[in-house]
């Protein structure tokens, strides 16, 4: 019974992750500073734009949990991002494509990605293994000393 439950639970998790991945590609998007923006067809005038705030640095060819750079699934590397005057960057930004500017609306924060943890997790794992080896060594010494007496 437990094995069936665990199998169904794993199947559910896999199907959810596949559906989330498919949803990510339903629209053109860009990411910036941990936020994902859906690019709309709403055109903006150049006088409504503020400063250049970034650009696409990579193409989205990884799973959704790894969108940690300025990534797009549609726009080429180098596509610039602009601030929209009187609109917080947390709500929307502008994307330049072929001389036109399009509004990109905030959708969600980018899913957490593991690369940020590597510098912290590896030393913790190393120290954990050292502590386990030390405790194992002490237990071996106790067993050995008890067998001699």
Q: What are the φ/ψ torsions at residue 124 (nearest 5 degrees)? A: -65, -45
Candidates 51, 59, 44; CA nearest to 104 is 44
Question: What's this model's pTM, rounded to 2 decimal places?
Answer: 0.58
Which pLDDT tens digit goes with each residue over 67-81? 567 888 888 999 999
Indicate the pLDDT class of residue 91, thresholds 50, 70 and 90: very high
Indicate the pLDDT class of residue 8, thresholds 50, 70 and 90: low
Average pLDDT over residues 117-129: 80
Q: Over pLDDT 70: what percentage of the chain?
A: 72
Whether 104 shows a pLDDT value over 90: the answer reads yes
Pairing status of strand 80-84 against strand 92-97: antiparallel
């Amino acid at each position: 019974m437990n094995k069936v439950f665990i199998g169904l639970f794993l199947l559910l998790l896999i199907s959810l992750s596949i559906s989330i991945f498919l949803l990510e590609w339903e629209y053109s998007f860009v990411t910036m500073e941990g936020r994902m923006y859906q690019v709309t067809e709403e055109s903006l005038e150049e006088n409504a734009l503020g400063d250049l705030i970034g650009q696409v640095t990579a193409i989205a060819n990884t799973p959704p949990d790894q969108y940690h750079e300025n990534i797009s699934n549609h726009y080429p590397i180098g596509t610039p991002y602009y601030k929209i005057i009187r609109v917080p960057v947390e709500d929307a930004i502008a994307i330049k494509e072929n001389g036109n500017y399009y509004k990109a609306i905030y959708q969600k924060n980018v899913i957490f990605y593991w690369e940020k943890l590597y510098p912290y997790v590896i030393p913790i794992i190393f120290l954990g293994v050292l502590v386990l080896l030390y405790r194992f060594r002490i237990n071996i010494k106790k067993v050995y000393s008890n067998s001699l007496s």
